[in-house]
Chains A and B, each alone.
Chain A
């Protein structure tokens, strides 16, 4: 039951939040963990839109032995990130935001993986597990 949303506008970021919330409730993440995951998804979906020039978000249930969770993949074909260390620095931004999206989102999830290449795009995969 993978669900995929193309992110091309503000409205799609709202749809991503709602989809992630629905699936997070379905796998019984705790309320705080739901809130953290939806917040992280909101940050990363907005990054996909604003910095990646749009892209896609795919949400799916994850399983690791007896643990259940949610995995979300954010993919864009945008400019990529040249300096990852800098991009993960709290407060650093190229887009006039607060510079908390990437670093903050990483703190809110259990697993965070980023693949990026300049000129080719960025793919971020995050997972949140039930406790």
Chain B
């Protein structure tokens, strides 16, 4: 069975899906990613789907599950590189991708993760009652 490689770059796990995945391959990727998040402590996952010419409901559900599992493991998932025809088809299919962040390419995905992580560490602008003390970045 084919396997989709998971690469670690700094604080990010990068997955680029280059094959037409059998369902089992997608499920294996889901498990591999959860294992790698725990093993590496990475806080971000980027899944590049620019090589995929379709995303059906099974792959869509797998992406949504990966995002949900990652979040439980303190990592944020960004799906990048979706083709325009795939986006149109997904919407018409009725597939919603709850909890999935998207960006147009890997670079913008990395920017998004860096920004989110930055916000988490400092003042994210939320109004919290009774906070007179300035937000301080945790070292």
Contacts and interface: CB of A to CB of B under 8 A. Distances in A.
Contacts of B53: 21, 34-35, 38
Contact of B93 (A13, A21, A107): A107
Contact of A43 (B21, B23, B57): B57
B93 to A, nearest CB: 4
Given A14-B22, A17-B54, A36 B89 contact: yes
21 contacts: A10-B22, A13-B22, A14-B21, A18-B20, A32-B84, A32-B88, A35-B85, A35-B86, A35-B88, A36-B88, A36-B89, A38-B54, A39-B55, A39-B89, A42-B54, A43-B93, A97-B58, A100-B94, A101-B57, A103-B94, A105-B93
A100 B54 contact: no
A120 interface: no
Interface in A4-21: 10-11, 13-14, 17-18, 21
A108 interface: yes
A98 B54 contact: no
B54 A108 contact: no
Number of chain A interface residues as a range = 20 to 34
B124 interface: no
A97 B57 contact: yes
B58 A39 contact: no
Contacts of B55: 39
Main secondary structure of the interface of B (DSSP, over half): helix
B21 to A, nearest CB: 8
B95 interface: yes
Interface string B54-91: 11111011000000000000000000000111101100
B92 interface: yes
A46 interface: yes
A74 B24 CA distance: 22
A108 B57 contact: no
Contacts of B95: 98, 100, 104
Nearest to B85: A35
Nearest to B27: A10
Given A32-B88, A98-B61, 8 more contacts: A11-B22, A14-B20, A31-B85, A39-B93, A42-B56, A97-B58, A104-B95, A108-B89
Given A32-B85, A107-B93, A107-B94, A39 B23 contact: no
